[in-house]
Chains A and B, each alone.
Chain A
Amino acid sequence: MVQYLTLAAILFSIGLFGVITRRNTIGILMSLELMFNAANINLVTFNKFIAPETLTGQMFAIFVVVVAAAEATVGLAIVLLVYRNWRGISTDNFSILKW
Chain B
Amino acid sequence: MNEAANPGIVFWVLSAIILVTGFMVVSLKNIFHCAIALVLCLSGVAGIFVLLGAEFLAGAQVLIYVGAVAILMIFGVMLTSNLAGKKIIATTSNAMVAFFATVLFGGGTIVTIFMTDVWRYSSESLPIDNVMFIGKLLMTEFMLPFEVVSVLLLAAMIGAIVLARDEES
Contacts and interface: CB of A to CB of B under 8 A. Distances in A.
Touch between A and B in complex, CB under 8 Å? yes
Contacts, number: 234
Interface of A: 1-7, 9-18, 20-24, 26-27, 29-31, 33-34, 37, 40-41, 44-45, 47-53, 55, 58-59, 61-63, 65-67, 69-74, 76-81, 83-84, 87-89, 91
A69 to B, nearest CB: 6
Query: Secondary structure at chain B's binding surface: helix, strand, loop or mixed?
Result: helix
A3 B11 contact: yes
Interface of B: 4, 7, 11, 15, 18-19, 22-23, 25-27, 31, 34-35, 38, 41-42, 45, 48-49, 52-54, 56-57, 60-61, 64-65, 68, 71-72, 75-76, 79-80, 82-83, 89-92, 94-95, 98-99, 101-103, 105-106, 109-110, 113-114, 119-122, 124-127, 130, 133-134, 137-138, 142, 145, 149, 152-153, 155-157, 159-164, 166
